[in-house]
Amino acid sequence: MLTAQGCRLRRERLWKVLSGEIEWLLIADPRHVHYFSNFWINPLSFSSGERAFLVLDRTGKATLICDNFARRSAPSESFVDDEIVGKWYDHRHSVVNRDALLVATLERVKDRLTPDRGLVEESALPLSALAALDTAPAAEGGELGSIIRSLRRKKEADEISLLQRCLRAAEAGHARALEVVRPGVSELDVYREVQSASLEAAGRPVLLYGDFRASTTARPKVGGLPTTYKLQDGDLFLLDFSVVMDGYRGDTTNTIHVGKHPRESQSEMYEGCRSALLKGEGALAPGEAASRVYEVVSKELEVAGHGPLAHHAGHGIGLAHPEPPILVPESEDELAAGDVVTLEPGLYVEGIGGVRLEHNYLITEKGFQRLSDHALCLA
Does residue 112 sit in the same domain as residue 230? no
Q: Does residue 341 lie within any of the structural domains?
A: yes
Query: Looking at 124, 150, 176, which one is the last position of a domain?
Result: 150
Q: Does residue 295 lie within any of the structural domains?
A: yes
Q: Which domain holds residue 18?
A: 4-150
Strands 314-316 and 252-257: unpaired
Q: Residue 70 maps to which CATH number?
A: 3.40.350.10
Does residue 175 sit in the same domain as residue 109? no
d(CA 364, CA 163): 16
Does residue 162 sit in the same domain as residue 290? yes
d(CA 36, CA 355): 39
Does residue 60 sit in the same domain as residue 201? no
Residue 140 confidence class, pLDDT cut points 50, 70, 90: low
The share of the chain scoring above pLDDT 70, in percent, equals 98
Does residue 135 sit in the same domain as residue 194? no
Does residue 139 sit in the same domain as residue 231? no
- Please write the tens of the pLDDT for every residue from 246-294: 999 999 999 999 998 999 999 999 999 999 999 999 999 999 999 999 9
Does residue 144 sit in the same domain as residue 256? no
- Please write the tens of the pLDDT for every residue from 231-240: 999 999 999 9
Q: Does residue 80 lie within any of the structural domains?
A: yes
Q: Does residue 335 lie within any of the structural domains?
A: yes
Task: Answer yes or no: are the C-beta atoms of 136 and 321 closer than 8 Å.
Answer: no
Q: Sheet containing 323-327: give its strands across.
A: 323-327, 314-316, 340-343, 359-363, 368-370
Does residue 144 sit in the same domain as residue 190? no
Number of domains in the chain: 2
Query: What integer pLDDT is reported at residue 130 of this predicted model?
Result: 85
Q: Does residue 258 lie within any of the structural domains?
A: yes
In this model, does residue 75 exceed pLDDT 90?
A: no
Q: What is the 3-state secondary structure (H, E, C) of the chain?
A: CCCHHHHHHHHHHHHHCCCCCCCEEEECCHHHHHHHHCCCCCCCCCCCCCCCEEEEECCCCEEEEEEHHHHHCCCCCCCCCEEEEECCCCCCCCCCCHHHHHHHHHHHHHHHCCCCCEEECCCCCCHHHHHHHCCCCCCCCCCHHHHHHHHCCCCCHHHHHHHHHHHHHHHHHHHHHHHHCCCCCEHHHHHHHHHHHHHHHHCCCCEEEEEEEEECCCCCCCCCCCCCCECCCCCEEEEEEEEEECCEECCEEEEEECCCCCCHHHHHHHHHHHHHHHHHHCCCCCCCEHHHHHHHHHHHHHHCCCCCCCCCCEEECCCCCCEEEEECCCCCCECCCCCEEEECCEEEECCCEEEECEEEEEECCCCEEECCCCCCCCC
Q: Does residue 376 lie within any of the structural domains?
A: no
The backbone torsions φ and ψ at residue 341, rounded to the nearest 5 degrees and listed phi first, read: -130, 160
Q: Does residue 323 lie within any of the structural domains?
A: yes
Query: What integer pLDDT is reported at residue 115 of this predicted model?
Result: 82
Task: Answer yes or no: are the C-beta atoms of 256 and 379 closer than 8 Å.
Answer: yes
In this model, does residue 141 exceed pLDDT 70?
A: no
Letter for the amino acid at 78?
Answer: S
In this model, does residue 139 exceed pLDDT 70?
A: no
Does residue 95 sit in the same domain as residue 137? yes
Beta-carbon-side half-sphere exposure of residue 270 (alpha carbons within 13 Å): 18
Task: Answer yes or no: are the C-beta atoms of 145 and 124 closer than 8 Å.
Answer: yes
Virtual CA dihedral for 84, 86, 90, 96, nearest 10 degrees? Answer: -170
Largest CA distance in the chain: 71
Q: Does residue 203 lie within any of the structural domains?
A: yes
Query: What integer pLDDT is reported at residue 143 of this predicted model?
Result: 86
Give the closest residue to 86 by CA, choosing from 76, 74, 97.
Answer: 97
In this model, does residue 14 exceed pLDDT 50?
A: yes
Residue 41 confidence class, pLDDT cut points 50, 70, 90: very high
Q: Is 364 exposed, middle or buried (0-12, 13-18, 19+ CB in 10 A)?
A: middle
Q: What's the mean pLDDT in 321-347? A: 98
Q: What's the mean pLDDT in 92-109? A: 94
Dihedral sign computed on CA atoms, order 162, 168, 169, 171? positive
Does residue 269 sit in the same domain as residue 289? yes
d(CA 224, CA 240): 9
d(CA 261, CA 217): 16
In this model, does residue 136 exceed pLDDT 90?
A: no
In this model, does residue 137 exceed pLDDT 70?
A: no
In this model, does residue 153 exceed pLDDT 60?
A: yes
| Angstrom distances, CA of residue 50 to CA of 44, 45, 100, 102, 208 | 12, 10, 12, 10, 20
Residues paired with 61 in a beta bridge: none
Q: Residue 343 maps to which CATH number?
A: 3.90.230.10
Does residue 144 sit in the same domain as residue 177? no
Q: What's the mean pLDDT in 175-199? A: 98
Q: What's the mean pLDDT in 104-114? A: 92
Q: What's the mean pLDDT in 310-322? A: 97
Query: Looking at 150, 179, 194, which one is the last position of a domain?
Result: 150
Query: What integer pLDDT is reported at residue 135 of this predicted model?
Result: 62
Does residue 111 sit in the same domain as residue 221? no
Average pLDDT, the chain: 95
Query: Looking at 88, 122, 150, which one is the last position of a domain?
Result: 150
Higher pLDDT, 149 or 75: 149
